[in-house]
Structure 1
Amino acid sequence: MPRIFRPNAYFEEELRLGKLFPRELEARNSVLESSFLVLNSFPDSAKVLAHSPPEENWLKYWKEKGIQIPKPILLRNIKQSLQKEKEIQLEEWGKISRWNSNNNELEIDPTYSDPAKIYGSKLNQNDWNQEHNSDLISYSIRNSEDWEIFLDKEKDRFSPDQKFVFKTEFGFAGAQKFRDVSGLKDLAYLFLKVKREPFLIETWVDRTKDFSLLFSAKNGEYKIEEGTILLNDHKGKYSGTWMGEFSEIENYLSGMSESFSQVSKFHPNYEGYGSIDSFFYRSKGVQVLRKISEVNFRWTMGCLLLELRRRFPKKGNDLLLFLPKVQNSDPYSRLRSWEKETGWEILPLSTFFSPYRRPNQKNLIWVRLPAGKNQDPWEEAKIVSESGIRVLGP
């Protein structure tokens, strides 16, 4: 029985739309497809399902590193590739589908999608989380009545400088919208009356540092795997993940045991990878930890980095970083020069160009850094990012 891995980075969109493979997100998904080709380059690994073949120069770069990237199963060839298979072992970024051998197609499986909608819903998570961690104003808005309740309860606490965050029930990290008090009603009208989409509303806070607790679950047992630093801006827009030796990660994990226990009780039947996203914020001059901002019952970029570290063990620290599209025709030669200049190991997890030689809008770079006792991840990530933009620019 063949093993197939589907890197469906648009998992939340599939839940929201109720259909697989949203075409408008194929290019964005290619980042994960190539990353898992690297991860699954070992014998007996699962075959990766991809929308398009990777770029030849990208394959050549990895071959120089001693890594033979396997060919993916192309989505357009899936029927031909698996037509004789009555059953496959399907693994996914976010588990939602099954293989139908009668018509040789992937289809949504309600036994996976229904629980994913329940426990992956930001609104359901908020209702549960407010019982344990009610540190911020946070309301699940499913209809006009919920909106009126929110206004009635909180209007006396409104101030002209107060901002709020709107998050859709299912959506990508960093896609939230921000409004001050004067703009609340217009945005609520857009969600409730025009889009007819429920949303979460929270008070905006001054975020300072973001962390993530990685976990795995199997047969009812939850296990903490690792802690990471999420590289986000003050609005929560994600740009990368840092993993390695750092005292602040240990301090963060030491304060998360009770919250981790709550998550395992919230979704006791979950199996697979997941993460708890947390952040520190300033409140009246004091740093406060919002222990559970969101729970991801799926793979995350941190889980990807954890598995890369396990497959390619090396002492030091690791950084996944998104960089903007390249502005030159041969970025791979510049990567080689960048390695020589810095002494870092620099590995492109995504291809720089599409099969049609169009530069991709974002590029995922894996940088392996030497360990340093006084190394500050935020400062280090800034240095790497600025260096990468300079190297890959005009």
Structure 2
Amino acid sequence: MPRIFRPNAYFEEELRLGKLFPRELEARNSVLESSFLVLNSFPDSAKILAHSPPEENWIKYWREKGIQIPKPILLRNLKQSLQKEKEIQLEEWGKISRWNSNTGNLEIDQTLADPAKTYGSKLNQNDWNREHNEDLISYSIRNSEDWETFIKKEKDHFSPDQKFVFKTEFGFAGAQKFRDVSGLKDLAYLFLKVKREPFLIETWADRTKDFSLLFSAKNGEYKIEEGTILLNDHKGKYSGTWMGEFFEIENYLSGMSESFSKISKFHPNYEGYGSVDSFFYRSKGIQILRKISEVNFRWTMGCLLLELRRRFPKEGNDLLLFLPKVQNSDPYSRLKIWEKETGWEILPLSTFFSPYRRPNQKNLIWVRLPAQKNQDPWEEAKIVSESGIRVLGP
């Protein structure tokens, strides 16, 4: 029985739309497709399902590193590649589909999609997670009645300089919208009356540091795998993940055991990888930890980095970092110069160009850094990012 891995980074969009393979997100998904080609470059690994083949120069760069990139199964050739298979072992970034041998296609499996929608819903998680800090407002808004309840209960607590965050029930990290008190009504109308989408509304918090707890679950048993630092801006837009030795990660994990134990009761039948997103925020001059901001019942970038570290063990720290599109025609030679200048190991997890030689809008870089005493991950990530932009720029 062949093993196939589908890196569906648009998992939440598939849940929202109720259909597989949203065409407008194919280019964005290519980042994960190439990353999993690297991860699954070992014998007996699952075959990767991809929309298009990776560029040859990217394959060559990895070959020079001693890694043979396997050929993916292209989506357009899926039926032909698996036409004789009655069964396949399908693994996914987010579990939602099944293989139909009668039609030779992947299709939504409601036995997977229904619980994924139930437990992945930001609104349902908000209703379950009553561990909110007292100074944070958080409401699930499914209809006009919920909105009126929110306004009635909270309007006396509004202040002119207060800001709120609107999050769709399913959606990408960093896609939230921000409004002050004067803009709440118009945005609520857009969601409820125009888009007809439920949403979560929360107090905007002055975030200072973001963390993620990685876990695995099997047969009802949940296990903490690792802690990471999420590199987000103050609005929560994701730019990378740090994994390695750092005392603040240990301090974060030590305070999460009680909250983590609740998750297995919330979704006792989940199996696979997942993560808990948390953040520190500043309130009245002190730092407060919001232990459970969101739970991801799927692979995450942190899970990807954890598996990369396991497949390619090396002492030191690891950084996944998104960099903007390149401005020169031969970025791979620039990577070699960058390695020589810094002593870091630089590994492009995504290709710089599409099969049609168009530069990709974002590029995922894996940087392996030596462990250093008194190293600050946030400062180190900033140095790496600025260095990468300079090297890969014009």
Answer whether TM exceeds 0.5 for this pair.
Answer: yes
- Structure 2 vs 1, CA of residues 157 and 323 (structure 1 numbering), >3 Å: closer, same or farther? same
Output the CA distance in 2 between the equivalents of 1:85 and 1:150.
53
Output the CA distance in 2 between the equivalents of 1:388 and 1:298.
29
> What are structure 1's unaligned runs of at least 5 residues?
none
Identity of aligned residues (%): 93
1:130 to partner: Cα distance: 2.0
Q: Which residue of 1 aligns with 2:205?
A: 205
Q: Deviations over 1:238-293 (max 9, x none)?
A: 00000000000000000000110011111011000000000000010010000000
Q: Which residue of 2 aligns with 1:131?
A: 131
Q: Deviations over 1:75-124 (max 9, x none)?
A: 00000000000000000000000000000000000110000000000000
CA contact (8 A) 2:3 2:47 kept: yes
Which 4+ residue blocks in structure 1 deviate beyond 6 angstroms? none
Output the CA distance in 2 between the equivalents of 1:231 and 1:131.
24
Superposition RMSD on alpha carbons, in Å?
0.7
Q: Which residue of 2 aligns with 1:108?
A: 108
- Structure 2 vs 1, CA of residues 330 and 181 (structure 1 numbering), >3 Å: closer, same or farther? same
Q: Deviations over 1:167-222 (max 9, x none)?
A: 00000000000000000000000000000000000000100000000000000000
- Structure 2 vs 1, CA of residues 37 and 311 (structure 1 numbering), >3 Å: closer, same or farther? same
146-155 or 127-136, which moves further after superposition? 127-136
Q: Which residue of 1 aligns with 2:50?
A: 50
Q: Deviations over 1:273-331 (max 9, x none)?
A: 00000000001001000000000000000000000000000000000000000000000
Aligned with 1:25: secondary structure?
helix
1:135 to partner: Cα distance: 5.4
CA contact (8 A) 2:97 2:108 kept: yes
CA contact (8 A) 1:174 1:237 kept: yes
1:18 to partner: Cα distance: 0.2
1:388 to partner: Cα distance: 0.2
1:373 to partner: Cα distance: 2.1
Aligned with 1:319: secondary structure?
strand
- Structure 2 vs 1, CA of residues 70 and 134 (structure 1 numbering), >3 Å: closer, same or farther? farther
Output the CA distance in 2 between the equivalents of 1:160 and 1:84.
65
Output the CA distance in 1 between the equivalents of 2:93 and 2:361.
22
1:332 to partner: Cα distance: 0.2
Output the CA distance in 2 between the equivalents of 1:350 and 1:132.
37
CA contact (8 A) 2:132 2:290 kept: no
CA contact (8 A) 2:216 2:274 kept: yes
CA contact (8 A) 2:4 2:49 kept: yes
Aligned with 1:258: secondary structure?
helix
Output the CA distance in 2 between the equivalents of 1:40 and 1:24.
26
CA contact (8 A) 1:6 1:93 kept: yes
Output the CA distance in 1 between the equivalents of 2:285 and 2:320.
32
Q: Deviations over 1:324-357 (max 9, x none)?
A: 0000000000000000000000000000000000
Aligned with 1:225: secondary structure?
strand
Output the CA distance in 2 between the equivalents of 1:348 and 1:244.
19
- Structure 2 vs 1, CA of residues 273 and 297 (structure 1 numbering), >3 Å: closer, same or farther? same
1:132 to partner: Cα distance: 6.6
1:33 to partner: Cα distance: 0.1
Output the CA distance in 2 between the equivalents of 1:135 and 1:105.
49
1:134 to partner: Cα distance: 5.7
Aligned with 2:249: secondary structure?
helix
> What are structure 2's unaligned runs of at least 5 residues?
none
1:131 to partner: Cα distance: 5.5
- Structure 2 vs 1, CA of residues 50 and 134 (structure 1 numbering), >3 Å: closer, same or farther? farther
1:136 to partner: Cα distance: 1.6
Output the CA distance in 2 between the equivalents of 1:15 and 1:134.
32
1:133 to partner: Cα distance: 5.8
CA contact (8 A) 1:123 1:169 kept: yes
Q: Which residue of 1 aligns with 2:342?
A: 342
CA contact (8 A) 1:133 1:292 kept: no
Output the CA distance in 1 between the equivalents of 2:206 and 2:170.
24
Q: Which residue of 1 aligns with 2:255?
A: 255
Output the CA distance in 2 between the equivalents of 1:96 and 1:164.
32
Aligned with 1:236: secondary structure?
coil
Output the CA distance in 2 between the equivalents of 1:117 and 1:181.
30
CA contact (8 A) 1:274 1:298 kept: yes
- Structure 2 vs 1, CA of residues 371 and 186 (structure 1 numbering), >3 Å: closer, same or farther? same
Output the CA distance in 1 between the equivalents of 2:46 and 2:371.
32
CA contact (8 A) 1:135 1:290 kept: no
